[in-house]
Structure formats: C-alpha cells, structure tokens
Amino acid sequence: MDKKNVLESIKNGLIVSCQARRGWPMYGAEIMGALSKAAEKGGAVGIRATGPENIKAIKKVTKLPVLGIHKQWTEECEVYITPTYESAISIIEAGASIVALDGTQRKRPHGETVERIIGKIKSEHPNILVMADCATFEEGLIAEKFGADIISTTLCGYTEETKYVKEVDYDLIRKLSSALNIPIFAEGHIHTKDHARKAIESGAFAVVVGTAITRPEIITKRFVDELNLLVGK
C-alpha cells in the first residue's frame, strides 16, 4: 500500500498498540502476533508494535499496516521511542508502514536530532510515513516543520513538562488538529470507548489504544480495585 492508501485505510479507526516489555506476563513475539490477530478480528485498522522481532511476527499473521517503533533505553537520555536513525531503519526493514519516533527536542544518543532522523527517513525511504510522538502543542508544530507526516499525542503525560497529565488531553487534540495540516493521532490514556469517541470528535484522525486492550494484568486490576473499594479493602 502506498502512503495515501495507508492513511485512507486508517482514517477514523482504531489502532491497537500490542506491546509488552521483558518481564511482563504478555512478553514475546508470538503473543504479540496473537494479540494483533485478535485486534484485526475485532476490526482494528492498524497495529502499533515495538522492535523488529515483534513486527515480523505480527506481519506474518495479519494484513494490517504496522505502526512501528523501537524502544531503546539508555542511561544518558530520556528519549527511548526510536531514538536513532538506525533504530528506525530496523523497523522499516521488518515491515512497518509507519515509523513513529520521539518528536520532542530532548537529547538523543550520539548527538542525533529529531530533525535529522525525520529528514533522512523521508529522503531514503519516501514510501514510509513518519509519525512524531509529541507531548505538547509546540512540539507538534516543530515536528510538522521538520517534515513529520503525522503527529501523535503519545507523550502527553510522560515528559517533565507534562507529567501532571493523567487523562486524555482533548484540548491538545483540538489545538493540534485545527492548527496543523497533517493528521493528528490520539494516543495515551484512552481507556474506554467514550474516550475514543471523544478523541475523534475533538479532531483526531485515528485513535491508538494499548493498555485498555492488551494488558490483561492492568485490566484485571481495574476490576479488582473497584470491588475492593466496594468492601472497604
């Protein structure tokens, strides 16, 4: 599928983020494949996934476009979502149609910059869509100038500046989608179908949901906490 068709197929739809870190109950490429198949069966329009092994496993069992990231943590930087050009290439080679990367201006390994990574992906891989995971309105504006094809609200609540945000920031979605000329994805803290609907009503092009669909340990805990509250535990 070319870029235009990928975007067209995703419009107003649900992308399910299938991710599990080492040590989490759902960790493993085969499980990511099973979760993705289930998401496809339920009508999802795309899968967000991390790392080449998981992406390859998902591509084997679903036809859905993969929005790929490569999470890599280092001691010296806060940026961990596709922090370098090389990390982006590994997920493009694994079959991702969209590459998402940290779209903030924060320090990256080896003096990399978000501007250089976006520019290089766009010149060397013109068929790949680049998505910038941002936390603020200003970061979205800058990432669009750098050439991002999509802005996502992924990091709102997860940077120093925004760490007080614990819920979906519909104002941010509204502001970005009215100021920018590229699609805005709503991602992060979307826990219910009402949140998802409200995100689209606020101007989001598509919605990405992870925890509420693919982390049964958290979903279980939400039920248990509610029952415990009831009996004063």
Ligand X SMILES: CC(=O)N[C@H](C=O)[C@@H](O)[C@H](O)[C@H](O)COP(=O)(O)O
Interface with ligand X (CB under 6 A): 17, 19, 69, 154-155, 158, 187-190, 208-212
**Smallest gap from residue 50 Cβ to ligand X (A):** 7
Tell me the C-alpha distance between 33 and 14, whole Å. Answer: 17
Q: Please say which residue, 62 or 214, places its beta carbon nearer to ligand X.
A: 214
For residues 204 and 177, is the Cβ–Cβ distance under 8 A? yes
Work out how close the CB of 126 gets to ligand X at its nearest, in angstroms, rounded to a whole number: 24
Which is closer to ligand X, CB of 21 or CB of 124? 21
- Kindly state the smallest distance separating residue 191's Cβ from ligand X, in Å: 7
Look up residue 99 and give its DSSP letter.
E
Please report, for residues 68, 94, 216, 226, 230, the alpha-carbon distance to residue 233 in angstroms, rounded to integers and kept in the order given. Answer: 41, 47, 22, 10, 8
CB-nearest residue to ligand X: 210
Minimum Å gap between C-beta 213 and ligand X is 8
CB of 12 to ligand X, least distance (A): 18
Contacts of residues 140-144 at CB distance under 8 Å and 24 or more positions apart, as own/partner, are: 140/103, 140/176, 140/179, 140/180, 140/184, 141/179, 141/180, 142/103, 142/105, 143/103, 143/114, 143/118, 144/180, 144/181, 144/182
**Is 124 or 193 the residue whose CB approaches ligand X more closely?**
193
Report the residue number, 2 or 131, with the smaller CB distance to ligand X. 131
**Judged by CB, which is closer to ligand X: 74, or 211?**
211
